[in-house]
Structure 1
């Protein structure tokens, strides 16, 4: 039987991911980051980004000098990259009281939840009044200290539980930047990875809980539910898939539904209309990606971008029916592809959303442990 295009791509990705990098590959990678970070700092008009770019550039440069020779030197280089690109900029920004607007939104939503019982302003009139996140995100604003500690901590803990112990991933600029300046997408991406990993380990109930927690934070987590359900159904059958669905939907519904029913108008304005660019107030999420460019420069571009977004979502859903993922690698890769397309096509989007396909792609390319099924047939045989 001839292999499908998806199977061939997965096979090639698996072969590439299993190879060890050359002795100078890490040096070139850190050297590239050492160039990109300061350039980003000079190009950005945001103070927190400038602080991160200059500090991270120095850390990447030192890492590039260390990243050659023995394994200990490369491990030291990764540690230096994490310290230089994450820890030092984060501490400097906290000391200066600087951060992205997301930090303020999370803090304010936690205060509103505590004082009014809802994390949303019913009639927002300015950008600062909007809270585009689902109610679970407000919990990070209730915890003591700066939300960045808790957002980053939840992300790192979820990756560790998923088996992604990768210092290079934390130091990678698309991850290191939000860790330092404030990234609400990080815990969402981490919980999605954890849900996929738990489903692959044969724990559908726990996978549903992890995905439900992610779905209570942002809408971007919801596409993970059908992908993981397809994975569980392909590996374990219908009943475990139903158990996973029940756990995920119950968790997300319990966190979201009370606020949607209490103030439906405010809920829709904040978490539906505003992120999709359907309000009179323009979202600051305006990176020059295709969806944003269509919405800004083409007549009817918002409708075109939303149509393309829906079509891409339907094609991914069709792929789950025609060829459901049978391994963690396939599920993570399918989800990374879908979220990458969504990031590119949303009318209100930003480069920070690329953390989703990056982290899920790292899970898809993770080296197999001894005894882990490598193909769909092997996975089914292992289950049987």
Structure 2
């Protein structure tokens, strides 16, 4: 994953792609994938491992041996043909083939069936939760909003109604929208590479239940960074109605809105978050408080009478296995880490989407590491929070026409000209308009006129006869 990240970071908007990081990254991912048939006891994960491992190996061979073609000048990415082909092979082997195969076979991790059954239960009983589940398979450790992804199962054919398709679709839409809001450059190669990486490919094929929450957190912080309080609040409300692990995103986004848009923006974001999230969660919390407390809070934390089978050898889980004292220590460290992150947020509030994503990533990473029942899969949230905004900002499109400055007078004239052409930039807190779909005809006109203007500025003045003679005499 680090090598894939290095390859992506090395790809600028105008630069090319180096083969070595992509080859090494594909080989690392292949080794990771081939480990699953050896260590996993889940049939869906073993099937993914064989398919994804083969896809990553083919991607490594393609990136290393395929002759370099012409750069994709129309996309402006400079991506070489071997890299594009390698990413396509990785995407095919790690996502498309295993997902289609598992959908046809009806194999998935248990959480997919839990979400689908919660929708069936909601339709027939009015509650997504069983009042007295006999074992862990009857628990629904999600907030009521997650049930929405189970409704296609009720009305569509078996394959099309599978919740994994809708988990993945929601995630992809959120990533694309966040990329546009962050004004990222060419999207195809970074987007496909991130989706093809084990970070996304494995959960997309076998489960995907965390993907909508991750994409929603990234989108909400991107919107908050642009000062769009209403849309950020709506997205936050939807995300917080899926899983309570998304709730740390709320204070981070509201602090960002406070820095970017002031108190009114923060209050507006709070209002929309509470309204949307409350409409989806509060009615069920009032009607079924005991079931929600037991299944949504106590069960994921390992505090219920029925223990969750989820668990990885992370520090919090190891401590919790030592007995009551270890469980208490794990919960104490969990709470202290959250308090420390809150203090840091108040002392150093985020001022843009990237720093907000970094703050949230650190907070949730500490929480997942120290929780009594944490899993390695939970760490995909902090990793994607750090990765996606950086990719978008590294390939960011220019926000204005290029200007070649010849003198201080020309510099002042150029600045005045830019402000005259785009007066709406001056009053916006981030220096950019909120509407991400603004027509670019003005910029296209400026780019067309820029070469002539630049040539006029730098063209040398022809010497007159008198000045030429004076120069010769001196």
TM-score under structure 2 normalisation? Answer: 0.74
5+ long unaligned stretches in structure 1: 1-12, 373-378
Q: Deviation string for 1:124-178 (max 9, x for gaps)?
A: 2200110000001111111131111111111111111111841111111121101
Counterpart for residue 290 of structure 2:
265
Q: 1:91 to 1:237 in 2, by over 3 A?
A: same
Q: Report the counterpart of residue 382 of structure 1 in structure 2.
A: 431
Whether contact under 8 Å (2:19, 2:83) holds in the other structure is: no
Corresponding residue of 1:72 = 81
Q: Separation in 2 of the partners of 1:22 and 1:294?
A: 43
Match of 1:84 in 2: 93
Q: Secondary structure at the match of 1:297?
A: coil
Q: Which has the larger radius of gyration?
A: 2
Asked if the contact 2:133/2:139 (under 8 Å) is kept, the reply is: yes
Cα distance change, pair 235–371 in 1 and its aligned pair in 2 (3 A): farther
1:251 equivalenced with 2:247 (yes/no): no
Q: Which residue of 1 aligns with 2:178?
A: 162
Residues 109, 291 of structure 1: CA spacing in aligned structure 2 closer, same or farther, 3 A cutoff?
same
Q: Superposition pairs for residues 29-48 of structure 1, below 5 Å? A: 29-48=25-44
Asked if the contact 1:119–1:135 (Cα under 8 Å) also holds between the matched residues in 2, the reply is yes
The one-character-per-residue Cα deviations of 1:83-136 (angstroms, maximum 9, x if unpaired) are 110110011111211100001100110101111111001122200110000001
Task: Give, in whole Å, the separation in 2 of the partners of 1:107 and 1:381.
Answer: 42
2:192 aligned with 1:150: no
| 2:391 match: secondary structure | coil
Distance of 2:123 and 2:103 partners within structure 1: 24
> Bigger shift: 289-298 or 179-188?
289-298
Figure out how many residues of one structure are paired with residues of the other and give that number: 366
Q: Distance in 1 between matches of 2:144 and 2:362?
A: 27
Question: Is the 1:235–1:383 contact (alpha carbons within 8 Å) kept by the matching residues of 2?
Answer: no
- Give per-residue Cα distances to partners, 1:174-232, cap 9 Å, x unaligned: 21101000121000000111101111122111011111111010011110010011111
Q: Name the stretch that deviates more: 63-72 or 232-241.
A: 63-72
The answer for the alignment partner of 2:460 in structure 1 is none
Q: 1:100 aligns with which of 69, 92, 109?
A: 109
SS in 2 for 1:207: helix
- Give the Å deviation of 1:76: 1.6
From the superposition, tell whether residues 266 and 381 of structure 1 become closer, same or farther in structure 2 (CA, over 3 Å).
closer
Partners of 1:251 and 1:72 in 2: how far apart? 45
Question: For 2:197, which of 156, 163, 172 is the aligned residue?
Answer: 172
Pairs within 5 Å for 1:153-302: 153-163=169-179, 165=187, 166-302=191-327
Work out the CA distance in 2 between the residues paired with 1:39 and 1:186.
23
Partner of 1:24: 20
Structure 1 pair 254–28 and aligned structure 2 pair: CA distance change class (3 A): same
When residues 298 and 266 of structure 1 are mapped into structure 2, their CA distance, relative to the original with a 3 A threshold, is: closer
- State the TM-score, normalized to the length of structure 1: 0.91
Gaps of 5+ in 2: 70-79, 400-427, 434-474
In structure 2, relative to structure 1, the CA distance for the partners of 1:182 and 1:158 (3 Å cut) is same
Q: Which residue of 1 aligns with 2:341?
A: 316
| SS in structure 1 of the partner of residue 168 of structure 2 | helix
1:12-71 deviation per Cα after TM superposition (whole angstroms, max 9, x unaligned): x99x94765633111110011111101122111111110000000001111111224451
Distance in 2 separating the partners of 1:321 and 1:246? 21
8 Å contact kept, 2:129–2:292: yes
Q: Take 1:186 and 1:381, find their aligned partners in 2: how far apart are those partners?
A: 29
**Residues 1:341 and 2:366 aligned together:** yes
Asked if the contact 1:18/1:367 (under 8 Å) is kept, the reply is: no
Contact 1:136 1:256 in 2 (8 A): yes
Shift of 1:371: 5.2
Partner-residue secondary structure (3-state), 1:280: coil
Distance 1:19 1:383 in 2: 25
> Does residue 362 of structure 1 match 2:387?
yes
Q: What do you get for the CA RMSD once the two structures are aligned?
A: 2.2
1:174/1:354 contact within 8 Å kept: no
